Amino acid sequence: MRSRARSGAWERFVGVMSGTSLDGIDAVVIALRGEARTFGWKLEEHHAAAFPEPLARRLRAAAEGEPVGAAEIARLHYALGETYAACVLELLGQARLDPVEVAAIGLSGQTVFHQSARESGAGGITLQLGSAAVVAERTGIRVVSDLRAADVAAGGEGAPLVPYADWLLFRDAKESRVILNLGGIANLTAIPADAATEDVIAFDTGPGNMVMDGIVRELSGESHDEGGVRAARGRVDDGLLKQGLADPFFALEPPRSTGRERFGRAFVERWIADGRSRGLGDDDLVATAAALTAQSVADAVRRFVPSGVDALYAAGGGAKNPTLLEQLAERLKPVAVDTTAALRMPVDCREAAAFAVLAHETLAGRPSNLARVTGAARPVALGSITGEPRR
């Protein structure tokens, strides 16, 4: 564990995140101090880097369950480490920071397989790639990584991991808030007004951008529906939407988590085939996929957030899709719908910032999973620490 900083002193952390959408890496520098109710934060810098397309294809193949040997997994692990390290060094150059000024890096790693204990029928299984040793060596900064493993070992889902960070960053004395991440998978953190940690509710709601992106990639070769234009042009088909919402995942009660294994390529291929049989065009398929995300979020809020919600703040790539946000606002009335930018957190930064916060808590020796959220038997400190602090 690190030596404690002076009481009230600011420390800089780097957070690095790459999500299930496989659209690239977000990295932030954030200054942190305090703990629990005295916690303070200042976001200082953000840098985004796209995955090289060959690497993205290989990662997508591994995550979609294509046969991948141990040698390829090992190559991806080290290639990701180099890619993360390069992104961090670019971030530090952009921020004009020396590595010695950074206490640690919180590294999400790239999830290529995740299965909850409920889905496996035994213990949970999760695998994130990206060599922390490579990142520590290239940057000269300690790395806190493999953050899901301790929660899974304690019987938890290993996801969602960021609710404790959300509580530290976004709780409010008067407003009951939902923080919604619209990445490949959508997950929410519900934080009642003046909440204690035991009041926080969080879980995966289902697909965020994953189905929409998969349809667009399959039909056009483009990576996503830029600006929600396709969804805006299309027509929502109620029959296909109802069919999608019949997936057994949506009937599960929290704790629950999911991933590409359920809503990846196979789901998208069925969606396209079923939509075509109903006479739907390309834009209709995307519009109905957007409605699947919006409706599953709205249903989850109504079913599992009993205390009521004043406002929902969206982050992630889907927060840049105005059509999706409009569908959410329509289905969640009278809840106010906005983005985390209204809370001083740009939509591309929320998850990277959260992993920086988790690293801060781990180095302080504090548990940062919420056992009630993940289903773990107990609170645990998350992650493994790689590297030594520079003197």
DSSP per position, 8-26: T--EEEEEEE--TT-S-EE
Question: Apex CA 362: angle with CA 358 and CA 365, to 5°?
Answer: 140
Please check whether residue 268 is in contact with residue 285, taking contact to mean a CB–CB distance below 8 angstroms.
Answer: no
In the 8-state DSSP scheme, what is residue 348?
Answer: T
- Angstrom distance (rounded) from CA 179 to CA 5: 30
Burial class (CB in 10 A: 0-12, 13-18, 19+), 69: exposed
Per-residue pLDDT of the chain in tens (391 residues, 90 and over written 9): 444 455 579 999 999 999 888 889 999 999 999 999 899 999 999 999 999 999 999 999 998 888 999 999 999 999 999 999 999 999 999 999 999 999 999 999 999 988 877 776 677 788 999 999 999 999 999 999 999 999 999 999 898 889 999 999 999 999 999 999 999 999 999 999 999 999 999 999 999 999 999 999 999 999 999 999 999 999 999 999 999 999 999 999 999 888 888 999 999 999 999 999 999 999 999 999 999 999 999 999 999 998 889 999 999 999 999 999 999 999 999 999 999 999 999 999 999 999 999 999 999 999 999 999 999 999 999 999 999 876 6
Bridge partners (DSSP) listed for residue 337:
312
State in words which class domain 11-160+349-386 has: alpha beta
Please check whether residue 1 is in contact with residue 364, taking contact to mean a CB–CB distance below 8 angstroms.
Answer: yes
Please check whether residue 262 is in contact with residue 247, taking contact to mean a CB–CB distance below 8 angstroms.
Answer: yes
Q: How many CB atoms lie within 10 A of CB 202?
A: 27
Please check whether residue 52 is in contact with residue 12, taking contact to mean a CB–CB distance below 8 angstroms.
Answer: no
Tokens of 279: 């006479």
| pLDDT on residue 22 | 85
- Angstrom distance (rounded) from CA 252 to CA 258: 11
- Angstrom distance (rounded) from CA 382 to CA 363: 10
| CATH number for domain 163-343, candidates 2.60.40.10, 3.30.420.40, 3.40.50.720, 3.90.1300.10 | 3.30.420.40
- Angstrom distance (rounded) from CA 268 to CA 279: 16
Tokens of 364: 């302080």
- Angstrom distance (rounded) from CA 256 to CA 279: 34
| pLDDT on residue 140 | 97
| pLDDT on residue 391 | 61
- What are the boundaries of each domain within the chain? 11-160+349-386, 163-343
| pLDDT on residue 189 | 98
Predicted TM-score (pTM) of the model is 0.92
Count of residues making up the chain? 391
3-class state of residue 180 by DSSP:
strand
3-class state of residue 315 by DSSP:
strand
Reduced to 3 DSSP states, what percent helix, strand and coil does the chain have, rounded to the nearest 5? 45, 20, 35
| pLDDT on residue 2 | 44
